[in-house]
Structure 1
Amino acid sequence: MRLLRKYRKRASRRHDNDNEHYRKGLKYQFGVGIKRDHDLALDCYRQGAQEGDFLSQQKVKYSKLSQRDLMINLIVMIIAITIGIIFNILWISVFVIGVTIAVFSIIGTQHYWHRKSFAYIMNWTSFFLTTLLIIPISTIIPYFNGITWIPITMMFTIGFFVFFGGILLFISEKEKQNIVIFVSGLFILVLTFAALSFETPGKKFIVREVDGGVEIAAYRSSDTHVEIPKRINNQKVVSIGPSAFYGEPIESVIVHDDIIEIKDYAFAHTRNLVEIELPKDIILSTGVFYGASSLTSVDLPDNMTSIPDELFFGATKLNQIEIPNTVTSIGDQAFAYTYALSEIEIPYGVLSIGSGAFMANHFTSLEIPDSVSTIGSFAFANAPYLAEVSLSTNISKISDNLFQNNYSLTTFTVPNHIIYIGKEAFLGAINLESISLHNQITHIGEGAFKNNYQLDNVSIPNSITSLSPHLFQQARSLKNITLPSTLVGIGDRAFSGASSLEQITLPNSITHIGSGAFEYNTSLTSIDLPSNLTFLGSGAFYGNTALTELNIPNQVKKIQSDLCYGCESLTTVTFANDITEIGDHAFYNNQMLKNIVIPGTVTSIGEYAFYGNSELETVTISEGVLEIKAYAFYGSSSLNEVNLPASLQTIDDGAFGGCLALDEIYLQNNLVTMGHYVFYGCSNLTIYLQMASVPETWTSSWNPEDLDLVLSHNP
């Protein structure tokens, strides 16, 4: 009955075909009411086909192999193999061929009905051959040989669809042959999971194709002991790529002799790496062992000519290394921060040492062979135990920051062949007590001796014409400094913070003193400025609490801002006759200053210029001054006499505020601008105004306390 229902169902699907031969053929094909016989069924279909029945013709057609399907499969096969050979991806070719044949085979199970025919047998043979052999081989073998995860993923996908496709076909048509499809899909899935359980090169390494073979691109295994394979996917492994093992928790590595190169940062931050075996002829690139903090020693290749930049940067446990005699250059930061490396021999033949090459090492002494002609900046910086250095006779320059923060360096004699000392060369050498400079030195760079706390006596050679900015900044113990007669300039903050400097003789050749040049020289009591001086920078004597007297030379035209800010012991200031301006905060908080005479060449007195000068008693402002800016004399609580010129046009906000002792002041009729609260807090003050009324140009709050005002006063 079930077969009859199936027969009727299929007959219905075929539009209730009325051809007697076709209907009889179906009975023989499915065994409905008679014994199943495919040969007799074929005879019936042939008779129906002769009568022109379309469905009978289709039955006859699919009793033989489809020429169209064969042709399509052949074309796909030719194209796939051609592409595979050209691009060396034969596994993909075989895979595509297998999938194509499998698809046509599955479709063929619905067409090839004659179970004794060659077509039926070949169709199922093709199905089993592709699903159970060709597809697995084309995916598992390349997977085992480490191409990628792609092939095994494809096989899993195919197995998944074949598995569920077989189930759906069986549910819809209830034919036993569909169980075979379902089982084949299950087999592929099981095979996939079995393959995934194996540790393969493709599972451990990701590779990319390069000239001559493949390159290790990444590592994806939990194995901490690594041996680089000679071949992957039947291709020669020739290099280890950039950052291939970056940050991996590996402990040991064996690199075989066929590897030509290890590229940039290949083993960077492999913090557990203790041991690595390298071939004798390998090429190492930048930062290969950067941050490999457990690495203790490495045998470098015998024919190495250059130590790459950052090769062992941060390899903090590296305690032994031998530089081959073939090396001619040591790269930037090649051995930086290798704290455990207490000694190293630089072979004769090395020509250059890069920037920061041995930075932050724990050497106590270092000898640079005479073959070296160039040493980069920071090469020996931050080496706290380095006390002695023998420099090559072929170098003429101490580069920038070369001995920065070398705490154990106490004395240094600059060799005669050195004529140039770079920027911050000895910055932070806090225990450097003495340095000997010879007369062939032509340049000493900015901040060269900055933060040399113990340096107490220095003689500048005659060959130096200018002191660079920050040269002796924070040289707290500096007491004696000898300057040559050839000196023409002192740079910004050259002696800033030299708190032990009590006196200094400036040669008359000096024309320029930079900003903050002597700031915070708290022991300096006096200084004779050279007569040829034309420029005195802002804050030049800022915070010099012991300075008592200052004479400004005639050629200085402007008092810069903050010149004597906080010079609380300053009692006398003499201005040059040609001075034109007094800058902001110039004499701020000079508490001992008693008398000031401002020459008529001055046109402007800056903001807060004499602010907080509590002992200031008299101020004479000569004819020619045009402007007194905001708070210029604010807080001068002892000021009792101020002489203002007729030329004065502007008095800005709070200029004389807090001048408690001031009892009278005379304002001339040229005064057109008056700021806010000009005499704030001057409670005893009487203001004598030469005008008949307060000008409208004055602010309404110039006298908010309504101090006594006498108008039309003509003294």
Structure 2
Amino acid sequence: MKLRNISYILLTIMMTFVFTSCNNKCKHKETMWIVDVKATCTENGSKHEECTICHEKLGTKEIKALGHTYDNQGICTRCGYESTTDKLVYELNPDNISYKVVGLRIEKNTFVSTIIVPSEYNNLPVTEIGANAFSDCYFIKLIISEGINKIDKDAFNYLRHSIDLVLPKSIAYIEENVFGDIYLNNVYYNGTIEDWCNIKFSNSASNPISKATNSYILDENNEYKEIAKISEIVIPGTINRIGDYQFLGFDSIKKVTFSEGVKEIGNSAFAGCENIAKVEMANTITSIGVSAFAGNSSLIDIVLPSNIKTIESKAFTHCGNVTNVYYNGTLEDWCNIEFIDQASNPFYYNDRNLTNHFYMLNKNSEYEELTKLVIPSTVKKINSRTFSDFNNLESIVIPNTVETIGEQVFSGCTSLTNIILPFIGDGNNINKFGYIFGNHVPSSLKEVKITDAKQIAERAFSGCKEVESITIDGVATSIEDEAFSGCTKLNKIEILCNITSINRQAFSNCTSLTSITIPNTVKEFGHGAFYNCTSLTNVYFRGTLEEWRSIRIRNATSTPESYAEHIYVLDKNNEYVEIDINN
């Protein structure tokens, strides 16, 4: 027992010696920092250094406050603090129940990392960012809180550096030139495509997407989706009007579908969206704005609605690859559409090496290509440019019930071979055949029939160098000076109306003319009426020999007898008989 006690005493002494010796000799070669108080976003923390061998506390240090890290709602991701910028300057709106931000109370060109525009100030809502509010400020991120609905013009005037921008779903109106002088790195919009369609942009410099390097919008899962990765957009029927400049900068879109309920497409709504290949419009759409699809160079297929009434100027300007147009209405509806200028028609800028195809619904509600046009008798007026650049159209029939035809209706119809129409010109004051072709009669056109001509005016068929056959009926009483002059390919003409005179040089230089039919009502051939008609072979006069001999002749080249090989008149049986030209 004594021996055991002695051993215990010796062991205790030995252990005490060892620990005392270590404490005296520890060099604190291995240390570590231990956090005593954690730092928060706003308060400092502390930590101490301690020897890992002897655990002696060697010193203390302060841990700086971490500061807030904000998400795109202006809420700190660490502590949940909802931040504002305390140096903003506010002004009470005229309604006296809301504020707008009008400036930032800092020195000119002073750097501010992040500006957060709050949704509330002095217990009243903040609804607006005023004109020039952030001019000459220097910051790298602007977060606009939910509730702000308007940004006034030039709000970011003279910002010459790049920033990130967060726009709230509530934004409804952005005035002109807000983003005209600004460089945007990233734009985050806290709404969906449907919400985006409710924003009104005053001009192209109002839309931030067109200025941004990267832009994001919320998808159906309320997650940000990069706009550069959106290839198809469906406009919901809850949107009445697609606003002006709405989708500037949405360059990746390949297809746009408009749901039933959408009624209008605004000016430049999809301008510059050069990757759009197909547009499908709901039948509820009635108008397409100025330059709505301008510069959509990849656009090939367009479905146009039955209720479309107006297509504004340059709506499809520089859409050079449009090939197929599918129209959901009737021919009568199509003739009533108002095309403001040539580029209102989707085919106008088509590369001339491409063949255009226009489809309409048949009785079986299936699309059928229109190559032979027959205007319904219910149509009274065909608006300007209605069939402009329908370069696959082969023939046209227009009934006498049509009273007016607009300018350039058939310009660019380069496959057209024959046309039947009631009058020459517009049916009112213009009496030039080339009027309906934009004064460029297609070289493919060979046969023309006028069924109810009111007059055959001076130089009426000027430029018809490739037309081979013309038939004219109606109530015209004369063929005016040079009406067919220079129609060098014209080889046959039938005049069925009761004209009384063929005036000066009416057919001069019709060098291919071989056959002409003349009514018995003619009383006079003007000077050089048939000058240089060197190929004239057969003249058919719908009267007697006596009537033929009674026609007044101004000079030698006035009469077709100067060139014709054969002249035929009617006998008592109303049959043609040849007369002796030399007798």
SS in 2 for 1:362: strand
Contact persistence 1:385–1:407 (CA under 8 A): no
Q: 1:414 aligns with which of 217, 229, 235?
A: 235
Contact persistence 2:201–2:207 (CA under 8 A): no
SS in 2 for 1:344: strand
Contact persistence 1:562–1:584 (CA under 8 A): no
Contact persistence 1:368–1:391 (CA under 8 A): yes
Q: 2:321 aligns with which of 490, 500, 503?
A: 500
The code of the aligned residue for 1:376 comes to F
Q: 1:513 aligns with which of 307, 313, 337?
A: 337
Q: TM-score, normalised by structure 2?
A: 0.55
Partner of 2:130: 308
Q: 2:512 aligns with which of 652, 661, 667?
A: 661
Contact persistence 1:294–1:318 (CA under 8 A): no
> In structure 2, do the counterparts of structure 1 residues 476 and 319 end up closer, same or farther at CA, with 3 Å as the change threshold?
same
Post-superposition offset of 1:642: 1.0
Post-superposition offset of 1:613: 4.0
1:639-693 per-residue CA deviation (whole Å, 9 max, x = no partner) reads 1111123433677887645422014546557669999976665444589877542
Partner of 2:154: 333
CA distance in 1, matches of 2:399, 2:309: 15
Kindly indicate whether residue 446 of structure 2 is the aligned counterpart of residue 594 of structure 1: yes
> In structure 2, do the counterparts of structure 1 residues 280 and 419 end up closer, same or farther at CA, with 3 Å as the change threshold?
closer
Contact persistence 2:524–2:553 (CA under 8 A): no
Contact persistence 1:492–1:513 (CA under 8 A): no
> In structure 2, do the counterparts of structure 1 residues 308 and 356 end up closer, same or farther at CA, with 3 Å as the change threshold?
same
> In structure 2, do the counterparts of structure 1 residues 492 and 281 end up closer, same or farther at CA, with 3 Å as the change threshold?
closer
Post-superposition offset of 1:444: 2.1
> In structure 2, do the counterparts of structure 1 residues 382 and 344 end up closer, same or farther at CA, with 3 Å as the change threshold?
closer
> In structure 2, do the counterparts of structure 1 residues 597 and 607 end up closer, same or farther at CA, with 3 Å as the change threshold?
same
> In structure 2, do the counterparts of structure 1 residues 646 and 414 end up closer, same or farther at CA, with 3 Å as the change threshold?
closer
1:581-621 per-residue CA deviation (whole Å, 9 max, x = no partner) reads 7755224331122222211x232457776544444221111
Partner of 2:50: none
> In structure 2, do the counterparts of structure 1 residues 316 and 445 end up closer, same or farther at CA, with 3 Å as the change threshold?
same
Q: 2:200 aligns with which of 375, 378, 386?
A: 375
Greater strand percent: which structure?
A: 2
**What aligned pairs does 1:162-173 form with structure 2 within 5 A after superposition?**
none
Contact persistence 2:130–2:153 (CA under 8 A): yes
> In structure 2, do the counterparts of structure 1 residues 414 and 607 end up closer, same or farther at CA, with 3 Å as the change threshold?
farther
The code of the aligned residue for 1:589 comes to V
Q: TM-score, normalised by structure 1?
A: 0.46
The code of the aligned residue for 2:153 comes to D
Partner of 2:415: 569
**What aligned pairs does 1:248-397 form with structure 2 within 5 A after superposition?**
281=89, 306-312=128-134, 319-321=140-142, 323=144, 329-335=150-156, 338=159, 340-346=161-167, 352-359=173-180, 361-368=183-190, 375-378=200-203, 379-380=206-207, 383-385=210-212, 388=215, 390=217
The code of the aligned residue for 2:201 comes to G
CA distance in 2, matches of 1:653, 1:429: 62
Greater helix percent: which structure?
A: 1
> In structure 2, do the counterparts of structure 1 residues 493 and 632 end up closer, same or farther at CA, with 3 Å as the change threshold?
farther
> In structure 2, do the counterparts of structure 1 residues 431 and 654 end up closer, same or farther at CA, with 3 Å as the change threshold?
farther
SS in 2 for 1:464: coil
> In structure 2, do the counterparts of structure 1 residues 418 and 612 end up closer, same or farther at CA, with 3 Å as the change threshold?
same
Contact persistence 1:296–1:317 (CA under 8 A): yes
Contact persistence 1:603–1:627 (CA under 8 A): no
Gaps of 5+ in 1: 1-276, 394-405
> In structure 2, do the counterparts of structure 1 residues 329 and 604 end up closer, same or farther at CA, with 3 Å as the change threshold?
same
Kindly indicate whether residue 306 of structure 2 is the aligned counterpart of residue 460 of structure 1: no
CA distance in 2, matches of 1:496, 1:607: 35
CA distance in 2, matches of 1:708, 1:476: 55
Partner of 1:558: 404
> In structure 2, do the counterparts of structure 1 residues 347 and 602 end up closer, same or farther at CA, with 3 Å as the change threshold?
same
Higher relative contact order (Cα pairs below 8 Å, separated by 6+ residues): 2
Partner of 2:257: 436
CA distance in 1, matches of 2:564, 2:90: 95
CA distance in 1, matches of 2:257, 2:561: 67
> In structure 2, do the counterparts of structure 1 residues 434 and 333 end up closer, same or farther at CA, with 3 Å as the change threshold?
farther
